[in-house]
Amino acid sequence: MAVETLEASPSQPTPATRRRPGGLARKPRSWSLPKSLGGWIVLAVCAIATLGMLVPVYVIITTALSGSTGAPNFFLAFPDAPSLDAFKGAWTKLHGSLINSLQITIPAALISCLLGSINGYVLAKFPFRGSNALFTVLLVGMFIPFQAVIIPVFQFLNMLHLQGSIFGLIVVHVIYGIPITTLIFRNYYEGIPSAIVEAASIDGAGIWKTYLRVMIPLSAPGFVVAGIFQCTNIWNDFLFGFILASPAAWPATVTLNNLIGTTTVDYSELMAGAVLVALPTVVLYLVLGKFFVGGLTAGAVK
Amino acid sequence: MTTSTALPPAPVPPVSPGQRSKKQVPHNVRTSRRAAWIFAPSLLVSFVFVYVFIGITVYISLSNWKIGTSPDLTLRQPFGGTYGEIIQEQRFQADIRNVVIFTIIFLVLAIFGGLIAALFIHHVSVGKGLFRTVFLLPYALSFIVTGVAWRWIFSPSTGVNEILRSIGIENPPGWTTDTTILGALNDPSGTDFLKVQFGIPVALLPIIFAAAWQLVGFAMAMYLAGLASIPEEHLEAASVDGANTWQRLRHIVLPQLWPSTITCFVLLLHVALKIFDLVVAMSGSGPGFVTDVPGIYIYNYLTSRYDKASAMAIILLLLTLAVIVPYLIRGYRKERKA
């Protein structure tokens, strides 16, 4: 069960070339133009495919810019008079739930990362009899369709009088985030030489002291990978918010879906809303892309 | 040790206490017992919220509980009657057809698309980082955002149909509201057990494209990681022996990418089975449940029929576990051997 959090490995020398997602910086990067016909064909195919991948992004942005004149009559048309008017309407309708999403995402991601870090440390450095089997039992929770537990979860939140609240959503996201964060940290800590832990225990440090004094200072990359992954997951969650949250606690994804409405759809406002909802995770991805990939491969079991 | 996403360095496999390696902390029984207690709370919470809650859902699916606010925990007679009830529904059968068709086409598009993209991007001389970033960008989006974008692209009056009409196609499909079933295998009469036509619903195609667009970058990332782990020497040796590009691809590259393929297959398959938000944002159930999926079925019955919602959830769970459990056990066994 390996998560190769590639950049997040302390035992790795920092390469001279800036490492990119996918760990492909094996050869020094060359910026030469293709030297053969085949090379040009490869480049052309990549460029065309990439442009194709960008079509939906272009569509979201141009439609959002079409402003008060309404969406264009053709989805690829560039608006005649680009304006930010649609964003005003979208912001009015969405800003409350964007704040909700933030209030749900940040605490839930932090707490689940902390728990995952403690679990991962124990599993990686102090394996006990049956720990692997129990870890596998824990991992199943990562893959279940949440509909299979949603009724008991709903009743459980009712029992604690947390139904519909932001706090209730945080609790649910933390609980169901434990398997994935445990997996990420366990694999990250396995990359840290056990000699360090041994040295600490020879010096008389116990499990906790070793964790706080030795492991935590080395954990920054692991926290970044797990944190980005969890922030993206929780921010983009729809199912829990849709079923468990009351309108006052709706996350942004649910409010955006409600903009679709039942009869007519104001596509320019809808797309402006889509930009607002997508922006935080996209910025996170563009700025910290290499760590993002580390979390992405987290589900990969050997 | 072959890793599916072989990004160096390979993590040290954990060692069971019986077989101490130099890499492992020498720890005594007392330490490991204390360590087990640290892990226990998380395990207990997960056990309750996953396994116990699934058990409760199984019980509800066998009970007479209909409305959430008035629990009726008596067992339904005959035993399992709710399952018998739902499998005869036209809606249930449509859901199963949709999820099967969705999964097959989506997997083919995402896995082959990801593989081809990775092979090209791996060998491109300029702009590798840019291409990779763009392909993976959709993965950072919410399915709701993806859904509203593709809903607009496939809106019958202003979307791709404009292009189709301009190249002379008179009556382009109505996409997510189209009730056409391509390649239908049967003609349901409504009196038999089978109440739906098995085939490819045209209405699912936009949703499948949207899902493939969002996840093709994931497959690409997995394959790029796999490609990066192939030793250069193997390829060079093959070239020396006179193997051409195609032969090197077939006999060296593709076999080494097998672990990446298994990972993509399992993870994307479980995404496909659970698909919910994308369909909600793009179409909902559609006319005659042509785009309905188990997730939406369960959601709809949460307000009126707890028993039916639970039964469908358990069927969906079993489908998912059938894929995931062998995969997890395989990973566990590999670790034991390591």
Chain B residue with minimum CA distance to A20: B129
Contacts of A297 (CB under 8 A, 6+ apart): A3, A4, A5, B5, B7, B221, B222, B225
User: Average of pLDDT values for A127-155?
Assistant: 92
Q: What is the pLDDT of residue B104?
A: 96
- Within 85-114 of A, beta carbons closer than 8 Å to B belong to none
User: Average of pLDDT values for A143-167?
Assistant: 94
Q: Is A262 on the interface with B (CB under 8 A)?
A: no
Q: What is the pLDDT of residue A15?
A: 41
Amino acid identity, position B143: F
- Within 230-249 of A, beta carbons closer than 8 Å to B belong to 232, 235-236, 238-239, 242-243
| CA–CA dist B193, A249 (Å, integer) | 44
Q: What is the pLDDT of residue A35?
A: 80
User: Average of pLDDT values for B259-266?
Assistant: 91
Which of residues B158 and A103 earns the better pLDDT score?
Answer: A103
The minimum CA-CA distance between A168 and chain B, rounded to whole Å, is 14
Given a cut of 70, is residue B264 above it in pLDDT? yes
| Cβ <8 Å between B49 and A175 | yes
For chain B, the average pLDDT equals: 86
Which of A37-46, A254-263, B144-153, B265-274 is predicted with the least confidence, judged by mean pLDDT? Answer: A254-263
Q: How many Cβ contacts (< 8 angstroms) between chains A and B?
A: 378
Is the omega angle on the peptide bond into residue B9 within 30 degrees of 0, that is, cis? Answer: yes
Q: What is the pLDDT of residue A231?
A: 94
| Cβ <8 Å between A59 and B149 | yes
| Cβ <8 Å between B57 and A187 | no
User: Average of pLDDT values for B297-301?
Assistant: 95
Pair of tokens at residue B224: 């790029």
Amino acid identity, position B88: Q
| Cβ <8 Å between B60 and A54 | no
Assign residue A4 a region: left if phi > 0, alpha if psi is -120 to 50, beta otherwise? beta
High-pLDDT (> 70) share of chain A, %: 84
Q: Is B42 on the interface with A (CB under 8 A)?
A: yes
Confidence class of residue A22 from pLDDT cuts 50, 70 and 90?
very low
| Cβ <8 Å between B221 and A239 | no
Contacts of B195 (CB under 8 A, 6+ apart): B88, B89, B90, B93, B188
| CA–CA dist A249, A100 (Å, integer) | 6
Given a cut of 50, is residue B193 above it in pLDDT? yes
DSSP one-letter code for B63: B
Confidence class of residue B77 from pLDDT cuts 50, 70 and 90?
confident
Q: Strands B200-201 and B181-182, how do they pair?
A: antiparallel
Given a cut of 70, is residue A112 above it in pLDDT? yes
Which of A223-237, B29-43, B112-126 is predicted with the least confidence, judged by mean pLDDT? Answer: B29-43
Which residue among A23, A57, A270 sits closest to B228, beta carbon to beta carbon?
A23
Measured on CA atoms in the order B209, B214, B220, B223, is the torsion positive or negative?
negative
Confidence class of residue B231 from pLDDT cuts 50, 70 and 90?
confident
Which of A43-47, A130-134, A262-266, B326-330 is predicted with the least confidence, judged by mean pLDDT? Answer: A262-266
Which of residues B177 and B52 earns the better pLDDT score?
Answer: B52
Q: Quick one: B306 exposed, middle or buried, by C-beta within 10 A (0-12, 13-18, 19+)?
A: buried
Report in angstroms the alpha-carbon separations of B246 from A171, B254, B261. 53, 10, 19
Task: Count the residues in chain A.
Answer: 302
CB A279 within 8 A of CB A289: no
pLDDT in tens, A30-81: 567 778 888 899 999 999 999 999 999 999 998 888 876 666 667 777 777 7
User: Average of pLDDT values for A255-274?
Assistant: 86
Q: What is the pLDDT of residue B332?
A: 84
Pair of tokens at residue A102: 């933030």
User: Average of pLDDT values for A148-170?
Assistant: 94
- Within 274-293 of A, beta carbons closer than 8 Å to B belong to 274, 277-278, 281-282, 284-286, 289, 292-293
User: Average of pLDDT values for B231-260?
Assistant: 87
Which of residues A72 and A111 earns the better pLDDT score?
Answer: A111
pTM equals: 0.87
pLDDT in tens, B148-168: 999 989 988 778 888 888 888
Chain B residue with minimum CA distance to A116: B42
Write out chain B residues lying below 8 Å of A125, CB-based. 25
- How large is the angle between the packed helices A220-235 and A166-190, nearest 10 degrees? 140
Confidence class of residue A107 from pLDDT cuts 50, 70 and 90?
very high
User: Average of pLDDT values for B190-212?
Assistant: 88
Which of B55-64, B173-182, B184-193, B291-300 is predicted with the least confidence, judged by mean pLDDT? Answer: B184-193
Report in angstroms the alpha-carbon separations of A203 from A192, A212, B35, B203. 18, 14, 18, 66
Given a cut of 90, is residue B73 above it in pLDDT? no
| Cβ <8 Å between A134 and B54 | no
Confidence class of residue A205 from pLDDT cuts 50, 70 and 90?
confident
Smallest Cα–Cα separation from B283: which of A145, A257, A97? A257
Confidence class of residue B49 from pLDDT cuts 50, 70 and 90?
very high
DSSP A48-83: HHHHHHHHHHHHHHHHHTTGGG-S-SSTTPPPSS--
Confidence class of residue B172 from pLDDT cuts 50, 70 and 90?
confident
Which of A223-237, B52-66, B224-238 is predicted with the least confidence, judged by mean pLDDT? Answer: B224-238
| Cβ <8 Å between B158 and A125 | no
Measured in degrees and rounded to the nearest 5, phi and psi for residue A79 equal -60, 145
| Cβ <8 Å between A153 and B49 | yes
Most A CBs within 10 A among B1, B3, B5, hence the mutation to make, goes to B5
Measured in degrees and rounded to the nearest 5, phi and psi for residue B241 equal -75, 0
| CA–CA dist B282, A38 (Å, integer) | 40
CB atoms within 10 A of CB A55: 14
CB B203 within 8 A of CB B283: yes
Write out chain B residues lying below 8 Å of A193, CB-based. 23
Q: Is B137 on the interface with A (CB under 8 A)?
A: yes
Given a cut of 80, is residue B6 above it in pLDDT? no
